[in-house]
Amino acid sequence: MDINLRIRRFNPEVDQKPYWAEYDLKEVQPVDRVLDLLEYVKGYLDGTLGLRRSCGHGICGSDTMRINGRNLLACKVLVKDLVRGDRGTIQVEPILGLPVIKDLIVDMEPFFEHYRAVMPYFINDEPAPERERLQSPAQRARFDESTKCILCAACTTSCPSFWANGTYIGPAAIIQAHRFIFDSRDTAGDRRLAILASEQGIWRCRTIFNCTLACPREIPVTQLIAEVKKEIK
Ligand code: SF4
Ligand code: F3S
Ligand code: FES
């Protein structure tokens, strides 16, 4: 296949503004991943291309990009899922709503600041039992979906509410809060709910559903947000 790969590029040290760079790639395989194409460009055509990746297998969540207008993990999306026939165009941009550092690399710090705000760790100040803190399979199942989150930011950076106001805590942080609010062993649920009830919290969610459509782990994000909303008195 012939692929015209368009990449949104910007190096703040030399460029006045972002621009589209185009690369004509020959003999692309339908089962190549977008990450393979980007690495080909970086390895053989232009080593200055900036992108993040780590695991290459949909686990680490570091290569979320806007590909043909949708937030996707570059290592999970195949060329054949984007282009029909022998030739076509694939367009890759950085995710929206976070400052671009260079090319496809954005500053994730505002995202992780929201993540840290919900205290995404187990809290229980009661004396430790002699053996483990028991939990039934049903209690464990209550927060199973939110444990699947890989913090890829695809949800938060596809949310129009977040685009409009970057101080909105965003769906990813709410999913992390959900993970602990519904854990029967944790005792800080009310503190997390109070944080989410604040002005920049969960009520900025207008049930737009982009987050659910974007999640590469198929977490029912909007549904879990609704479960947390119900807990706020
Ligand atoms: Fe990514 Fe899904 Fe977690 Fe959002 S909920 S950060 S889209 S894995
Ligand atoms: Fe945004 Fe998802 Fe709510 S897209 S408005 S967080 S349902
Ligand atoms: Fe780790 Fe894509 S490189 S999820």
- Report residue 106's pLDDT band, with 50, 70 and 90 as the boundaries: very high
Mean pLDDT of 188-192: 98
Let me know the angle formed at the C-alpha of 90 by 88 and 92, rounded to the nearest 5 degrees.
Answer: 170
Mean pLDDT of 75-89: 97
Residue nearest (by alpha carbon) to ligand 2 atom 3? 205
Q: Residue 127 has what pLDDT?
A: 94
Residue nearest (by alpha carbon) to ligand 1 atom 3? 149
**Stretch among 38-47, 124-133, 142-151 having the lowest mean pLDDT:** 124-133
Using the mean position of ligand 1's atoms as its centre, give its distance from the Cα of residue 1 in Å: 32
Ligand 2 pocket mutation pick from 219, 222, 223 by most atoms within 8 angstroms of CB: 222
Residue nearest (by alpha carbon) to ligand 2 atom 7? 207
What is the third-level CATH fold of 108-231?
Fumarate Reductase Iron-sulfur Protein; Chain B, domain 2 (1.10.1060)
Q: Which residues line ligand 3 (CB under 6 A)?
A: 53-56, 58-63, 73, 75
Cβ within 8 Å of residue 129, ≥6 positions away = none
Percentage of residues in the chain with pLDDT exceeding 70? Answer: 100
Q: Does pLDDT of 233 surpass 90?
A: no
Cβ 93 vs Cβ 66: under 8 Å = yes
**Alpha carbon separation from 136 to 32, 60, 133, 183, 186 (Å, rounded):** 43, 29, 10, 11, 14
Cβ 1 vs Cβ 30: under 8 Å = yes
Cβ 23 vs Cβ 34: under 8 Å = no
The domain ranges of the chain are: 2-105, 108-231
What angle separates helix 170-181 from helix 109-117, to the nearest 10 degrees?
30
Ligand 2 pocket mutation pick from 168, 169, 175, 205 by most atoms within 8 angstroms of CB: 205
Pick the CATH number of 2-105 from 3.40.50.300, 3.40.50.2300, 3.40.50.1370, 3.10.20.30: 3.10.20.30
pLDDT digits (tens, 9 = 90+) for 15-51: 999 999 999 999 999 999 999 999 999 999 999 999 9
**Average pLDDT of every residue of the chain:** 97
Let me know the angle formed at the C-alpha of 157 by 198 and 74, rounded to the nearest 5 degrees.
Answer: 150
What's the burial of 84, exposed, middle or buried (CB within 10 Å: 0-12/13-18/19+)? exposed
Using the mean position of ligand 3's atoms as its centre, give its distance from the Cα of residue 74 in Å: 7
